[in-house]
Amino acid sequence: MAEQEASGLQVLLHTLQSTSDRESILAILQVLGDLLSVGTDRRIHYMISKGGSEALLQTLVDTARTSSPDYGILLPLFRLLVKVGLRDKKFGQKALELEALDVTLTLARKNLSHSQNLLHCLWALRVFASRVTTGAMLGINGALELLFKVITPYTRKHTRIIRTAAEVLAALLKSKSNSRRAVNRGYVISLLRLHQDWHSHDTVNTYVQIRQALLLCLKHIATIRSGREAFLACRGMEILFSTTQNHLDDKSMEPIISVALQILRQCYPKSLLPLLTASSAYAFRILGSITSEPPRVLTEEDFEDDGDEEVDRDSDSEDVKEEDNDLETDVNKLSSKPGLDRPEEELKQYEAMCLELSYSFEELESKLEEDLNFEETQCANHHHIPAAASPKQHGLNKDQSCWGLEREDTVQTSLLSTVKMGRSTVHLASKKTPAIKTYQKVPCSHLGIDSSGNEIPDIQAFLKEDVWDIDAISCPRMSASLENSTMPTESVEVIDKLLQTHPKDIPFHDPHLYMAKARRTRSVPDFKMMAFPDLWGHHLPPSAQSMLERKCGVQRIKIFEDVRRLIQPSDVINKVVFSLDEPGPLQDMSAPHSLRFCSKFESGNLRKAIQVREFEYDLLLNADVNSPQHQQWFYFKVSGMRAAVPYCFNVINCEKLNSQFNYGMQPTMYSVKEALLGRSTWVRTGCEICYYKNHYCRSAAATGGASGKCYYTLTFAVTFPHSEDVCYLAYHYPYTYTALMAHLDILEKSINPKQVYFRQDVLCQTLGGNPCPLVTITAMPESNSTDHLEQFRQRSYQVITARVHPGESNASWVMKGALEFLVSSDPVARLLRENFIFKIIPMLNPDGVINGNHRCSLRGEDLNRQWLLPSAHLQPTIYHAKGLLYYLSSIGRSPVVFCDFHGHSQKKNVFFYGCSIKETLWQAGCPVSTPTVLEDVSYRILPKILDKLAPAFTMGSCSFLVEKSRASTARVVVWREMGVSRSYTMESSYCGCNQGPYKGLQFGTRELEEMGAMFCLGLLILELKSVSCSHQLLTRAATLLNVEEGALDHHLQR
């Protein structure tokens, strides 16, 4: 039957080409039209496969070349050609070979006054022009000139023809040769005049499609440099700006606004950043470091188009697709275990970092006997970090709430209770109460109110608001309390008295200790001052803040503001008010209409501030030290503001292609005046937030040699809570190296050394001369008996690292939660300490954190791409972290879990990256031979546990693929070289959650710290679920957690 149908179709097509009988041709065209008018595209493709396109084109040519073309045949023939041509990928080439292009152009020229015939010719030309090669040929044969005869100024007649002709012209101009031809013949000004004419007359937007097609013509011309130059010379920017600026909210104008926006962005003159060099303002001399980049000028390549223009991101389309072509498909590379990257004898040096395996506890016992009644002097800051649920949910009263102070003898509810209660009950308080506002207006009084609602009388009694020396207080010098201080005596006294009034209710924080530690921190710029939030401390916010609802059209509004600045520069101040590149103060301290900026403190990053208008500033971030790139992290001080006035900040040299700032994320702010009133809290702030590509060119050094790439702008508006305040703004909640070092000391003093084994070692010295801490946490042996010491030394290891990327400060807050939980008196923490030895490197890149880097070390390297062959001299922290893992592996003590904490800028939630050979091969479409590819599938258990356990965690975002580009990361190297199947990267979003109990909420430090505690709890559940879990541990767990052993066993589904 199929053969008969094929034979019948072929007969029709053959007859169509061979016959000259009019009735026969019309009959065949009618039959073919009926066949293609019903059913699916399969019929059209079938006809194409049988030579249908060639038959129709040949009939067109034959009919058109008669002395008197028969339009009774040509019109239905054109309709069939359009239907078939849209689905035939080789249609243009076939038309070119059969000379159908010239024939159709000739017919169109002959029918300029015959609208119906002309319309059919234009339909065919539109199909021909959809292929660039045939479009170029049409241009050579005079198609552009023909179309400009058809496209007239505004008229209500023949609008269907005009629209089709404009669409054909837009298709033709996709060819660069046609675009150049249009520029050379002056068609750019013609198109602009046509656009203006139709825009001014079409007041009710009846002919939007014609106007859109005219703009599409300009858009395609603007893809070439000469087109952009012609557009600018014809004042195209001014014309498009004036015709569209008042219609941004008009839904009916959406197709026009969208194209106009793309043209404005394409034609906005490219320029270099207002910086002397793209390289960092800070230089660190070291062997093999990247040299500074000389100033450069724009070249031809900088103006070439860098691909499709990004669309106006007003939707919540934020999915980050994984690239399958980066997957490692070499089974040998995936399954082989490389040898040591260093001599084996070098591993002996790491014995000193594992003293718990050989420590003389008799000496420790005698030392403890000399302690002065530790139980009475124990630090009141000792507390645990359970889930962020309400006190009622945990069965605690107000004084024993989950963030309150605790002692060892406090009756506690285990963190494991959240597993029994179920995930839906966690953090209901955040969902029931409205998100906290940035800052509430609070009338000034003589009483400060802390974040718990308690009065703090000392602050205002000491410093009445009208006499605050806010500048001296806001960024104190590290030597402010020293006798040899060079500061004025009054300033020293102010700082000393200020510290005396510190509320002391911020857990695990001591400003005196912070100041002492800050003096030992070594920075490239040799910072002399401390940021007030780091010194004073941060209270956990009372509840999470909701994600910012994105205002529709905010991106186009910002882009139009950029265009306004270009074409209407009269109100642009363009005054540099802060710069790391220019020594000395740039600001007149008495200037009433200018903010004051500073970033010369630990983790600070702001290179330059330019006042654009009275309440608008362009900000430029500093590149990573010894690098021309990685501008994303910012942290700076701003002062001299007015209250209740929105200030606009434009960070104009960001690099990432997209950001969670487009999807609900806000930057963070800390107000010094609010802190002195008892509300010392980092909060999310800002509105009118948008992240988009701008017109500033990136240097080839910053793009790895690629040209034509541009920076991105992050813009946001902030309304400050007080006039003449000092506020700090940051990309995310800052967490400095000094804060970590002070925190570790306080933790060590807070624990009971009879119960908790807590030791700080120095893993190594960094390139910048700072010690990289290594922390060991476990439980002390019950006694010095042989059995107890053996049990102590046979505990399995868990290894956790964090902050290899300095800008990922959220990783440090997660680590903070994990550390505080592990030393707490929570029953889960006790069980963890009694069964595991934790080796923790809380900050793998101290130098990067100190100097305000976003990604790199002082050598300008991403340390998480150095794990394959690290150098002891160039990447010491990675070299020795890997060496420690090698040592543990060499003595048969590889960790049960290795996890590296990170932050993620383009995804929401918390999730894992792991490693799986089979999942990688399956994803890549490679055949997997089960007998030859064996792997431990337990790598999925921990993320599944956390998915049920932690409110912020989602299994759905986890990935276990091994990419070629990640071969030198910690996760992959530890998995491949040390054989740790549960080797993970844990990513925490900078933004928040789009699922679970925290859906729609941004992460605060509370949620991040909770995630650290939940991760630790997950390790216990992992052990309790394992087949190898001892009966003794299950019994101990049941006892400590106050549940029956059978019930626990059933709940864990072992």
Active site residues: 987
Rounded-to-integer distance, Cα 285 and Cα 860, Å: 11
Q: Which residues are paired to 986 by β-bridges?
A: 901, 912
Rounded-to-integer distance, Cα 274 and Cα 161, Å: 49
Rounded-to-integer distance, Cα 166 and Cα 159, Å: 10
C-alpha distance from residue 1 to each of 4, 5, 6, 8, 12 (Å): 5, 6, 9, 11, 17
Q: How many CB atoms lie within 10 A of CB 1025?
A: 17
Rounded-to-integer distance, Cα 753 and Cα 1026, Å: 30
In the chain, DSSP finds a helix count (H) and a strand count (E) of 42, 20
| Helical H segments across 98-175, by residue range | 100-110, 115-129, 132-140, 143-150, 159-172
CA 898 to chain centre: 24
C-alpha distance from residue 595 to each of 190, 534, 716, 734 (Å): 47, 22, 16, 22
Q: Which residues are paired to 837 by β-bridges?
A: 797
Instruction: Count the residues in the chain.
Output: 1054
C-alpha distance from residue 769 to each of 277, 284, 310, 737 (Å): 27, 12, 44, 13
Q: How many CB atoms lie within 10 A of CB 106?
A: 15
Rounded-to-integer distance, Cα 495 and Cα 475, Å: 10
What are the tokens at 291? 């040299």
Using an 8 Å Cβ cutoff, are 340 and 869 in contact? Answer: no
Rg (CA), the chain: 35
Q: How many CB atoms lie within 10 A of CB 580?
A: 19
In 146-269, beta strands by DSSP E = none
Using an 8 Å Cβ cutoff, are 653 and 711 in contact? Answer: yes
| Helical H segments across 370-452, by residue range | 374-377, 391-394, 417-421, 428-432
Burial readout 8-37 (b: 16 or more C-beta within 10 A, e: otherwise): ebeebbeebbeeeeeeebeebbeebeeebe
Q: How many CB atoms lie within 10 A of CB 589?
A: 9
**Within the chain, what is the greatest distance between any pair of CA atoms?**
119
Rounded-to-integer distance, Cα 910 and Cα 1016, Å: 15
> First and final CA of the chain: distance in angstroms?
62
Rounded-to-integer distance, Cα 71 and Cα 823, Å: 90
Q: How many CA atoms lie within 13 A of 256 on its CB side?
A: 26
Instruction: List the one residue out of 881, 875, 850 whose CA is nearest residue 770.
Output: 850
**Strand pairing report for 646-654 and 448-449:** unpaired
Using an 8 Å Cβ cutoff, are 1005 and 935 in contact? Answer: no
Rounded-to-integer distance, Cα 866 and Cα 804, Å: 11
CA 971 to chain centre: 20
What are the tokens at 784? 């010095």
Instruction: List the one residue out of 298, 170, 165 whose CA is nearest residue 223.
Output: 170
Rounded-to-integer distance, Cα 188 and Cα 399, Å: 74
Rounded-to-integer distance, Cα 125 and Cα 255, Å: 23
